Structure 1
């Protein structure tokens, strides 16, 4: 049965793409469910980090179910119908893609949209659009070149070749490279470290980096001073400094 399942590990939400028979390919209902669960997590103050992974060890997601796309051709390029794959980049809650095996097409888009990528040794990324007559959309042209060198992005998008985990880590696309079967555990460790920190600061860092990307250095510099002034008056700042001086773990709100 194909679905998106969820589980809460303290303040870390794990979303699992469940369609192993088809390498965790997305049906249209699964895409909509992904969007619903991401938005619900964003609205839940108890969720401090989101981990997205694929069921089993052979695939994160192979992308859209192509038979479904042939039946409903408009699903392939409609920005609203594909919006859930881009949601992680727009959330204030940090997101981690725990990539096990294939991350192709829409699976690649989802990995690009996440803030971080933790890759198992068998992870593999591909943008096959040029090979099947479809333009690589959803950030593959607009976002990917900000994550890896433009020449490599161009290469991937027009050859459709696979980028293996070791290359992804070497060029900085993958934040962690771990043994096959260990991506979820490593992602949870990273997520818990994030969740233990001030959520206000964590969210502000993401917003600041997005400001840099979209508005440039001067706007990002203004953001630093304005947001820094705001956050230094918040309870988390008092708690963090007191905890440091008292040599104890902080207890952030």
Structure 2
């Protein structure tokens, strides 16, 4: 049985489900399958948004399978953490909106996977945390790197130092979650949001994401220069024509172009 599944739904949405019940723990095999699944999503131009969730109601993902630690103790970085970082970075680098649908507990590596996504929809009964410090280690698969950008440095250090689990309402208040859902509705709400985003202008959304992420490490001058290049790209694509036509006609736009629409437009013969 696969450790995860990835299916393409209607409306250009892909659903990736961790399937290692009851807690959907991260194993070496799950990590390998996650890397492969994300690569397939990236290569499929028909996928315009991705939702990641966990099987069942107990957990999105409760972290690493500690029973594997004995097998990798001599080279935990090479055999485990390097691969996990490869997986998390691949999720982060996807040029489409990504949403974590969090039901139940979301801890450790599961929380790192969630914050590798752009958005997090969390069940009102769920919690999220980084308890690695209680094992004498720290979140080595992106948690220390990404969490400060999401909640700010002081809050990130509070969560990482204490390892406490944050309830859904607090997660929303500090920006760790982007939306809360009624009990049992996190996946449905995340899919609805994904379909809305998938219907948007793919190139613009891709450039919004890449520009926002890049700006975290750029000077203002560098970010402005990159933004002007990206603006030129969207104005070369067909989505602008559709957006303006829809605005003039007072109707909803119907964006169908892909995230490389500007390149395709340049390659078309005159």
1:101 is matched with 104
2:83 is matched with 81
SS of the equivalent of 1:189 reads: helix
Counterpart contact for 1:75–1:81, Cα < 8 Å = no
Stretches of structure 2 lacking an aligned partner (at least 5 in a row): 258-270
Alignment deviations for residues 103-141 of structure 1 (CA, whole Å, 9 cap, x no partner) = 111101101111000000122112122111222212221
Q: 2:182 aligns with which of 165, 179, 184?
A: 179
TM superposition score normalised by structure 1? 0.94
1:206 is matched with 209
SS of the equivalent of 2:82 reads: coil
2:142 is matched with 139
TM superposition score normalised by structure 2? 0.89
Instruction: Give 1:74 shift.
Output: 5.6
Higher helix share: 2
Counting only pairs closer than 5 Å after superposition, residues 1-253 of structure 1 correspond to structure 2 as 1=1, 3-10=3-10, 11-21=12-22, 23-73=23-73, 76-78=76-78, 79-82=81-84, 83-252=86-255, 253=257
CA distance in 2 between counterparts of 1:118 and 1:39 reads: 23
> Is the deviation greater in 197-206 or in 152-161?
152-161
SS of the equivalent of 2:46 reads: coil
Counterpart contact for 1:86–1:109, Cα < 8 Å = no
Counterpart contact for 1:96–1:118, Cα < 8 Å = yes
Counterpart contact for 2:13–2:198, Cα < 8 Å = yes
> Is the deviation greater in 46-55 or in 124-133?
124-133
Stretches of structure 1 lacking an aligned partner (at least 5 in a row): none
CA distance in 1 between counterparts of 2:88 and 2:165 reads: 20
CA distance in 1 between counterparts of 2:143 and 2:209 reads: 20
CA distance in 2 between counterparts of 1:75 and 1:5 reads: 28
Counterpart contact for 1:211–1:219, Cα < 8 Å = no
CA distance in 2 between counterparts of 1:246 and 1:145 reads: 44
Change (3 A) 1:247 1:75: farther
Counterpart contact for 1:69–1:75, Cα < 8 Å = no
Superposed CA RMSD in Å reads: 1.5
Counterpart contact for 2:24–2:55, Cα < 8 Å = yes
Change (3 A) 1:126 1:141: same
SS of the equivalent of 2:83 reads: coil
CA distance in 2 between counterparts of 1:59 and 1:136 reads: 18
